[in-house]
Amino acid sequence: MHFGEHLMIDGYGGDNRKLNDKDIVLSFLNQLVADLGMRSLSDAQVFYAPGNNIKDPGGWSGFVVIQESHISIHTFPARRFVSADVYTCQNNLDVKMITDFIRDTFLLVDIESNFVVRGKQYPKKNIA
């Protein structure tokens, strides 16, 4: 048994308009929580993050706290790039569904994903 799973997705060549739409980013967070059967502990929050004139041209950052952990997303419309994390204490995360959902939502051309099993030595019972 392990504690949970962490899926990290980087998407390339996305639709600039969709990546720059606060409502689409908010909808992505809310729909993904629902589609995964998870429970929100807070309303999803989305904020505009201005560029820093170094490598970050600005975009939208969103986050939702779920009973199972959290989901976050950061869009970079000028680079047609998106980065998202789904971290959960559940097992058997539906990686294909999540990957297809982000691809379809932002019309991504290419995706890199990393999947990490977390807490491989998670205790089976309370120890305190």
Catalytic residue among 40, 61, 89, 113: 89
Residue 63 located in a structural domain: yes
Is residue 2 part of the annotated active site? The answer reads no
Instruction: Please give the Cα distance from 49 to 87 (Å, whole number).
Output: 22
Is residue 69 part of the annotated active site? The answer reads yes
87 pLDDT band (50/70/90 cuts)? very high
- pLDDT tens digit sequence for 69-79: 999 999 999 99
Residue 44 located in a structural domain: yes
Catalytic residue among 70, 74, 83, 113: 74
Residue 94 located in a structural domain: yes
Residue 127 located in a structural domain: no
Instruction: Please give the Cα distance from 104 to 127 (Å, whole number).
Output: 44
Instruction: List the domain range (segments joined by +) for residue 31.
Output: 4-109
By residue count, the chain amounts to 128
Q: Which region holds residue 127: left if phi is over 0, alpha if psi is between -120 and 50, else beta?
A: alpha
**In this predicted structure, what is the pLDDT of residue 2?**
87
Catalytic residue among 6, 69, 70, 113: 69
CATH of the domain at 25: 3.60.90.10
Is residue 89 part of the annotated active site? The answer reads yes
- pLDDT tens digit sequence for 47-58: 999 988 888 899
- Check pLDDT > 80 for residue 59: yes
- Check pLDDT > 90 for residue 12: yes
Q: Considering its fold, how many domains does the chain have in total? A: 1
* Mean pLDDT for all residues in the chain: 95
- Check pLDDT > 80 for residue 1: no
Q: What is the mean pLDDT of residues 19-34?
A: 98
